[in-house]
Amino acid sequence: MGENETIRTIKNRRAIRDYDTSKEVPDDLVYKVIEAGGFAPSAENQQPWRIIVVKDKKLQEFIGQKAVDRTIELFGRATPREELERRLSYIESKASRERTIDILISGARFEYIKGKPETNGAPVLLVLAVDQTHVGNSQATLRGTGGVYGWSSPRHAVIAGSMMMQNMALAASALGLGSCVSSVQLDHFDDVGEISEKINIPYPHWVPILCLTLGYALNERTLGPPRQGPEEITFVNKWGKPFKGGKE
């Protein structure tokens, strides 16, 4: 039996970091991607999200440079080379693996966020911000406290925002667009503040948590990092006994 189309879309989506910049992404496609994003679930259907569609090259450059700087810090300085070798061991060709490591430690791998045609950058950059004062109606009096009963509502906004992001990445894939979720430029508090200021996000009430680049893929990308199977990540009833999915 052939695989269901939705599951095929889910499994075939890849992070795309090289874009064909000769092809514009029409606004109506961007609209469809965001519309699909908005169909994600959210706690009490509060929809605690906003998207900023960034096409201005100077703004893309600013945000992309943050990603490059942090990548140099993270992969170039803080992560030992053996660890990068281990993570990328799924790339069989030694030369391609070395090339991938080189562009990681130099930050070049994240140049695509800047959207420059000469480096096959993404034509469109979406910035997703979530409402950090997002609370359910039942907790109206606990606004901003995190909840005296231990509820952590800002966390719900991040969870819902992440689900929205995944919807957008899948919708992009279904519409023939390449995309890549990225957060490295938003990992550091200073960057979150500076990026918010640059694009008028009312931070810290609203907080940018993730970006999504959009564009047409330069090359079809089928090989991705391997995934663990359900039997490796699932237990039955209690942590410990593996779930075999009827394969025992």
Ligand X SMILES: Cc1cc2nc3c(=O)[nH]c(=O)nc-3n(C[C@H](O)[C@H](O)[C@H](O)COP(=O)(O)O)c2cc1C
The H or E element containing residue 208 is strand 206-215
128, β-bridge pairs: 51, 210
Determine if 182 is a binding residue for ligand X (CB under 6 A). yes
Q: Which stretch binds ligand X (CB under 6 A): 27-35, 87-95, 175-183, 239-247?
A: 175-183
Smallest separation, CB 178 to ligand X (Å)? 10
Q: Which stretch binds ligand X (CB under 6 A): 11-19, 26-34, 144-152, 194-202?
A: 11-19
Determine if 184 is a binding residue for ligand X (CB under 6 A). yes
Smallest separation, CB 87 to ligand X (Å)? 9
Query: For ligand X, which residue of 110, 121, 196, 215 counts as binding (CB under 6 A)?
Result: 110
For ligand X, the closer of residues 135 and 213 by Cβ is: 213
Going by the DSSP 8-state scheme, the letter that residue 140 receives in this structure is: G
Q: Which stretch binds ligand X (CB under 6 A): 12-20, 54-62, 116-124, 134-142?
A: 12-20
Determine if 180 is a binding residue for ligand X (CB under 6 A). yes
Query: For ligand X, which residue of 117, 204, 224, 229 counts as binding (CB under 6 A)?
Result: 224
Query: For ligand X, which residue of 46, 79, 106, 183 counts as binding (CB under 6 A)?
Result: 183
Q: What is the number of other CB atoms lying within 10 angstroms of the CB of residue 45? A: 7
Determine if 105 is a binding residue for ligand X (CB under 6 A). no
End-to-end CA distance of the chain: 21
What are 27's two structure tokens?
Answer: 């606004």
Determine if 225 is a binding residue for ligand X (CB under 6 A). yes
Signed CA dihedral, 160, 162, 165, 171: sign only:
negative
With tokens 């209690």, the residue in question is 238
Nearest-angstrom CA–CA distance, 134 and 49:
10
What are 106's two structure tokens?
Answer: 């130099």
Using only C-alpha atoms, what is the Rg of the chain?
Answer: 20
Determine if 181 is a binding residue for ligand X (CB under 6 A). yes
Nearest-angstrom CA–CA distance, 4 and 26:
28
Residues that bind ligand X (CB under 6 A): 14-15, 17, 110, 180-184, 224-225
